[in-house]
Amino acid sequence: MADIKSLDDLKSAVSGAAAPAAAEVAVREPKRDSLGRSYATGKRKDAVARVWVKPGSGKVIVNGKEMAVYFARPVLQMILKQPFQIANVEGQFDVYATVVGGGLSGQAGAVKHGISKALQLYEPSLRGALKAAGFLTRDSRVVERKKYGKAKARRSFQFSKR
């Protein structure tokens, strides 16, 4: 209470009112490297994706291959395009991603998560739309482990009366 200089300051301190300087809202700053890219890590199931996003023509490279070559199924390509559609920035950013682990579906989800996080770091104003769509939240569902005495995680061995 060393900063109290007047009766008004004392009243506001007692009533619990915040000081004017502390009432300012923190504004998010864009996080970009020296090459003008934003980096983020995306995860889904056992897959982990490292994603770099920079302004460009909308080219997506995954593990050194075009998106259409690496993710041949249209559903997986649609998953990768979702963050750009939600943020209304289709064709404005180039993506370079390396992804390891899991299967193709998990890898597509990991790249989608990484793209969403990187877009939000590059342009903080896109955070609201991406967060409302649930793209910034890591999907924590993973495969349940196998237990001893069971055929799979929960399935028992076939019962035999004799």
**Residue of higher predicted confidence among 16 and 36:** 36
11: confidence class by pLDDT, cuts 50, 70, 90: low
Q: With 80 as the cut, is the pLDDT of residue 25 above it?
A: no
β-pairing, 93-100 vs 47-55, is: antiparallel
pLDDT-derived band at 116 (thresholds 50, 70, 90) equals: very high
Q: What is the pLDDT of residue 18?
A: 55
Q: Which CATH architecture has domain 30-127?
A: 2-Layer Sandwich (3.30)
User: 140 — phi, psi (to 5°)?
Assistant: -85, 0
Q: In this prediction, what percent of the chain has a pLDDT beyond 90?
A: 78
Burial call 50-61: b when 16+ CB within 10 Å, e when fewer: bbbbbeeeeebb
- Higher pLDDT, residue 15 or 80: 80
The string of pLDDT tens digits covering residues 74-97 is: 999 999 999 999 999 999 999 999
Tens-digit pLDDT profile for residues 35-88: 999 999 999 999 999 999 999 999 999 999 999 999 999 999 999 999 999 999
**What is d(CA 120, CA 129) in angstroms, rounded to the nearest whole number?**
10
